[in-house]
Amino acid sequence: MSVQRPLIEVEENAMKIDLHCHSNLSDGELSPQQLVRYAGEQGIEMLAITDHDLAEPLPEANAAADALAIQLVPGIELSANWGNVAVHVLGLNINPVSAALGPIVERQAAAREQRALEIGERLAKLNIQDSYQGAKAQAGTSRIGRPHFARFLVESGVVKDVKTAYKKYLGAGKVGDVKTHWPAMEEAVQWVHQVEGYAVLAHPAKYNLTRRKLDRLCEDFKEAGGDGLELVSGMQTADITAYHHRLCEKYELYASCGSDFHGPVSSWHDLGKMAPVPGACRMIWECWA
Ligand code: MN
Ligand code: MN
Ligand code: MN
Return the pLDDT at 178.
85
Mean pLDDT score across all residues of the chain? 92
Mean pLDDT within 108-123: 94
**Statement: residue 1 has pLDDT above 50:** no
Could you tell me the distance, in angstroms and rounded to a whole number, from the CA of residue 5 to the centre of ligand 2? 34
Return the pLDDT at 2.
42
Task: Report residues near ion ligand 1: CB below 5 Å.
Answer: 27
Q: Which ligand is closest in space to the CA of residue 206? A: 2
Could you tell me the distance, in angstroms and rounded to a whole number, from the CA of residue 178 to the centre of ligand 2? 15
Identify whether the C-beta of residue 207 lies closer than 8 Å to the C-beta of residue 85. yes
Give residue-wise pLDDT tens across range 13-34: 467 999 999 999 988 999 999 9
Mean pLDDT within 28-53: 96
Give residue-wise pLDDT tens across range 222-274: 999 999 999 999 999 999 999 999 999 999 999 999 999 999 887 777 898 99
Could you tell me the distance, in angstroms and rounded to a whole number, from the CA of residue 77 to the centre of ligand 2? 7
Q: Which ligand is closest in space to the CA of residue 28? A: 1
Could you tell me the distance, in angstroms and rounded to a whole number, from the CA of residue 248 to the centre of ligand 1? 24
Could you tell me the distance, in angstroms and rounded to a whole number, from the CA of residue 202 to the centre of ligand 2? 6
Of 138-142, 214-218, 225-229, 261-265, which gets the smallest average pLDDT?
138-142
Return the pLDDT at 236.
94
**Statement: residue 10 has pLDDT above 50:** no
Task: Report residues near ion ligand 2: CB below 5 Å.
Answer: 88, 202
Identify whether the C-beta of residue 261 lies closer than 8 Å to the C-beta of residue 271. yes
Could you tell me the distance, in angstroms and rounded to a whole number, from the CA of residue 88 to the centre of ligand 2? 5
Of 127-136, 163-172, 176-185, which gets the smallest average pLDDT?
176-185
Identify whether the C-beta of residue 52 lies closer than 8 Å to the C-beta of residue 79. yes
**Statement: residue 186 has pLDDT above 90:** yes
**Statement: residue 148 has pLDDT above 80:** yes
Q: What's this model's pTM, rounded to 2 decimal places? A: 0.86
